[in-house]
Structure 1
């Protein structure tokens, strides 16, 4: 590897630019791969199938123009920049449109966990995108590693968020499509910025020439960091509250003695924060006053006003030994040395 910030040979730069320009074209191969990956991803989202979604990621071609955008951003290569942006715009629009079409055909299907998991991006998603962008850019500087781009695409998952955007738009669900769009934008920016830094450190562009592109990238990243940081804060708070609530309910509240706590959900982005506990219980009545006492108790312990809700799933314990009514023998039919007794139900049961 060449020393950091030392400019590479012009031949290597031209070779990389040419290869990325070819990869950033909108051609038949790009259209087939994009259409196939979009349709497969959307169906996989409705199936709630990670395996199907991963299959869509493998053939998704959007990573290619993104790497081209990374180099064009810092090298001021207007031809590569325009080609990459056109390809990304066309690919994004096509993927969302196909997802909307599938969503309208299957409009009666519910939103699965695989769909909802792509509606609340955090700083962790930005970190994954930046690592993926770094590896993707480095792979393109080495011809023998160029085929590793499919694995990089899997790690960052560009097409599934677009599928969720289409599903959200088709169903008119603002929370779904806006959250997924933020995730897609996070992936785009993370990959492009990290890729640009890698190309800069490997010497494909002088620092002086790259300053403008880096400033633009930093500004766009800052805009994304604000909502992602807020979402990250809410995620940490959710996990903290959920863990503390489980401990408090099972160890410090009399109301839940003898009950089995199944799940605790914390609804984020609400004021006050909503905490929903699900328990299984035998025939044991729980009053609204008891729930209110638990709510006050949890608010004091956590130091945050919450709205506590309780879901009770009634349970019955059944053993292998049943209490059976005493049967009355009617008659016996001898068969050899064995007597077969026929029974009827008691009169009290027959009369019912």
Structure 2
């Protein structure tokens, strides 16, 4: 439920109630208090069309520049409805002005915004370098990336170019800070190696796009339906802030694969997040002010088409990486199957490791000292048939010998 408190100059409140009557707002859903110092109109926004009511009031009365007027919209913590039938028939949806205010406040570049971005980037970079997942999660809690994405999405849906550009500029600021901090951390911390946390973001897959789509949808739905969105912001930050820092670390290591993979993942995540957020806002009925209706409809359609096309284009390399890393059988797996079949060693107790570097396969294993060399030639032939003749197979063999002493030998000695 939401309540609007509108203050007017003395005598204007009656004109405002006449406007509500023309909009067919139930007389039981508003109350007017008049006094010599001004009029106060209390409107219950639970049952009516919130945006239409606020639009008409804002069009008729100047709340922005006139100090004698004001408009406050808030959501009460507890509501005991006097009409349960109305409550059951209605569905809560945050009004447009509340969403716009949220987007503006949380995408404003000020000292707090910059400080949070720097701290989040430092924590995320160190978490990536140390391969410490809890530390990486900690950076997501304070990363200010949700507000700018909401600002971009709402700017598109409402045709508010100023709000959209504010979101773009704020997100670009976070990106710049995170990349620079990641670069500095990569240079300052000694002996930085490519661990699993960095490797995951070096090779993005289609699954990452689905995560971003789900996170964007959840974030937009939480805002427009009134659900608390702090945890949703953490999920969205998970798709953004560590990736930004990975790019900076990749630059410090001069690792083009890390930088390229990070940029691909970041671009895909951004597009998926904005696509999901815009889609949810649009489908849930977030509408612009009346005079921007047709302009906004054109912008939403063009933006959705452009974003969908970009997502499809980005999904092509992501699909290839997904196939290579998650679907296609790796050379190591094929060699293991051949080894199990030839040696009958299902548990691989005698196999130390298999290393594949380029077109070279090297097996490290224990074998009895009397194993015939011909057996390894057969194994090499089978591996080349499976992988291709261009592979070179090397065996690093540790020979083993079996000793068996007669019973009671210790006593005799």
TM-score, normalisation: structure 1: 0.74
Contact 1:135 1:152 in 2 (8 A): no
Q: Does 1:281 align with 2:363?
A: no
Q: Does 1:53 align with 2:143?
A: no
Match of 1:172 in 2: 254
Q: Which has the higher contact order (CA 8 A, sep 6+)?
A: 1
Shift of 1:240: 5.9
Mapping of residues 144-293 of structure 1, within 5 Å: 144-153=227-236, 156-205=238-287, 208-209=297-298, 210-239=300-329, 242-252=332-342, 260-262=350-352, 274=359, 276=361, 279-281=364-366
The more displaced of 246-255 and 90-99 is 246-255
Match of 2:51 in 1: 9
Contact 1:259 1:279 in 2 (8 A): no
Shift of 1:233: 1.7
Residue deviations 1:105-136 (CA, integer Å, cap 9, x gap): 12532222211221000111111110111001
Match of 2:220 in 1: 137
Shift of 1:274: 5.0
Match of 1:114 in 2: 197
The more displaced of 143-152 and 22-31 is 143-152
Residue deviations 1:151-203 (CA, integer Å, cap 9, x gap): 4235x431111111111111211111111121111211111111111111111
Structure 1: distance between partners of 2:204 and 2:101:
34
Closer, same or farther in 2 for the Cα pair 1:278/1:83, shift >3 Å? farther
Closer, same or farther in 2 for the Cα pair 1:312/1:169, shift >3 Å? same
Structure 1: distance between partners of 2:223 and 2:51:
16
Larger Rg: 2
Question: Cα RMSD (Å) of the superposition?
Answer: 3.7
Closer, same or farther in 2 for the Cα pair 1:257/1:74, shift >3 Å? closer
Match of 2:57 in 1: none
Structure 1 stretches lacking a partner, 5+ long: 1-6, 268-272, 327-352
TM-score, normalisation: structure 2: 0.64
Residue deviations 1:62-100 (CA, integer Å, cap 9, x gap): 122112222223332201110000001111011100111
The count of aligned residue pairs is 308
